[in-house]
């Protein structure tokens, strides 16, 4: 029986979930894996929180130095969140010869290169399954199971808060502000929800996952990011009429012209497998050149789902003494050889509030045509709740075109016509 001592930094939702799983499953892990995994120390400012979980007072450390010097600790779980002191603490325990398992997507996204360098130098492991998509095992799938493939594309719903908000808006017809307030009351959204609703969280995760997919460093700074704060009930209603549902998508593609990585709201067909992913669930849709399409689905957040990912990494670390690191050169910035595509190709949904008079539609389509944009579909009439007096709502779905063409056409319409482009949303077919 191999004895494995664990320390946990931070006993919030995720750290507490990991502790609960490790405590309740100890006998099972002995039988299934031949591992006696025990929590030997915790670092938690709120001592009452540790005591309420049943942790012995003698195991509550008062400093990171106590964790570093504890000979019973082999693996340290970092579940503090934020960059500091999580970064400094992780570097300290690795210098002390202890492997690190982290759930901290911002830390790993921004400083994974530094953590991995320290892990290699000290011959310890660095594991991060829990940084992306909660309990969905996408990191391990990309590191191990799909390594025989060249991954050509990745599309994911990887933020539970925004997916919950958009699902409620779609199903109940409520406004963004109404659903956000409800999500905050229920604990699905933070008091300051910016990290989630403006797409930062999803972009952190996409940086990590696209680097694994495409075997090259994809820094956070190179990801195009938009949030969901401008999505309206009118857009959602129009999407329904057209057979679409709206999601905050994390998209990565590796093509002949380079790599494109973007986080933004998008309409997808109701028949697409990702369309049925609701509430706080996450899913990733991966395409490989040999395996073709693979979809992984599950709880994207929460104490036990994310704790499950953490504990899975602890067991993997304990049973794989030969540590592996990133299958690409993990540096702070992208390789000079990596080309990024920023002028994306997509179909687009445009909702316009136009003068309700003959010829206005033809003027709009003429401007679109000037910039090489062809129209696939037009719906005329009030989108939701009736149009303004003397105004008409027009919804245009374009054929696939370039991002720059759409931006130029929208500017021209707003400048030259008595028409407001109220919404521009990409359509992923």
**Active site amino acids:** 205
Nearby residues of 106 by Cβ (< 8 Å), 6 or more positions away: 81, 82, 83, 204
**DSSP bridge partners of 349:** 397, 425
Contact 33, 320 (CB under 8 A): no
**What secondary structure letter does DSSP report for 220?**
G
Both tokens assigned to 114: 């530094």
- Spatial separation of the C-alpha atoms in residues 62 and 98, rounded to whole Å: 18
Both tokens assigned to 303: 């104490």
Phi, psi values for residue 156, rounded to 5°:
-140, 150
Phi, psi values for residue 318, rounded to 5°:
-70, -25
CA angle (138, 427, 168) in 5-degree steps = 70
Distances (CA, A) of 11 to 61, 64, 135, 307: 12, 14, 18, 11
- Spatial separation of the C-alpha atoms in residues 330 and 317, rounded to whole Å: 20
Q: What percent of the residues of the chain are helix, what percent strand, and what percent coil, each to the nearest 5? A: 40, 25, 30
β-pairing verdict for 345-355 and 420-428: antiparallel
H-state helical runs in 229-375: 233-242, 303-319, 360-370
Both tokens assigned to 420: 């407001």
Q: 173 in the Ramachandran plot: left (φ > 0), alpha (ψ -120 to 50) or beta?
A: left
Q: Under DSSP, is residue 21 helix (H, G, I), strand (E, B) or coil? A: helix
Nearby residues of 260 by Cβ (< 8 Å), 6 or more positions away: 224, 251, 252, 253, 340, 341, 342, 344
- Spatial separation of the C-alpha atoms in residues 63 and 84, rounded to whole Å: 15
């Amino acid at each position: 029986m191999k004895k494995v001592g664990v320390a946990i930094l931070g006993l919030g939702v995720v750290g507490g979930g990991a502790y609960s799983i490790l405590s309740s499953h100890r006998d099972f892990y002995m039988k299934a894996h031949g591992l006696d995994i025990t929590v030997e120390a915790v670092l938690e400012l709120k001592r009452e929180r540790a005591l309420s979980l049943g942790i012995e007072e003698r195991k509550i450390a008062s400093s990171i130095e106590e964790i570093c010097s504890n000979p019973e600790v082999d693996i340290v779980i970092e579940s503090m969140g934020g960059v500091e002191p999580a970064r400094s603490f992780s570097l300290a325990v690795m210098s002390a010869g202890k492997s690190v398992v982290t759930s901290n997507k911002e830390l790993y996204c921004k400083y994974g290169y530094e953590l991995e360098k320290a892990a290699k130098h000290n011959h310890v492991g660095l594991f991060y399954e829990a940084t992306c998509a909660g309990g969905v095992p996408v990191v391990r799938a990309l590191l191990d199971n799909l390594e025989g493939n060249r991954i050509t594309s990745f599309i994911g719903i990887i933020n539970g808060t925004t997916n919950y908000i958009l699902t409620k808006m779609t199903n109940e017809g409520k406004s963004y502000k109404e659903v956000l307030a409800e999500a905050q009351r229920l604990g699905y959204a933070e008091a300051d929800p910016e990290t989630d609703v403006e797409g930062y969280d999803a972009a952190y995760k996409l940086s990590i996952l696209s680097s694994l997919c495409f075997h090259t460093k994809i820094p956070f700074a190179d990801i195009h990011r938009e949030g969901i704060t401008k999505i309206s009930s009118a857009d959602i209603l129009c999407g329904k009429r057209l057979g679409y549902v709206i999601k905050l998508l994390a998209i990565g593609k590796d093509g002949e012209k380079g790599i494109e990585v973007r986080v933004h709201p998008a309409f997808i067909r109701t028949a697409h497998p990702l369309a049925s992913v609701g509430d706080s669930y996450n899913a990733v849709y991966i395409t490989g050149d040999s395996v073709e399409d693979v979809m992984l689905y599950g709880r994207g957040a929460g104490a036990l789902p994310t704790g499950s990912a953490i504990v899975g990494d602890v067991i993997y670390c304990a049973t794989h003494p030969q540590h592996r690191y990133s299958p690409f050169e993990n540096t702070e910035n992208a390789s000079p050889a990596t080309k990024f595509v920023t002028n994306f190709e997509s179909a687009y949904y445009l909702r316009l509030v136009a003068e309700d008079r003959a010829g206005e539609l033809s003027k709009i389509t003429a401007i679109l045509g000037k910039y090489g944009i062809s129209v696939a579909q037009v719906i005329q009439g009030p989108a939701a709740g009736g149009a303004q007096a003397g105004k008409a709502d027009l919804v245009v779905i374009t054929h696939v075109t370039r991002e720059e063409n759409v931006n130029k056409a929208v500017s021209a319409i707003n400048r030259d016509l008595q028409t407001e482009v109220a919404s521009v949303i990409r359509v992923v077919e």
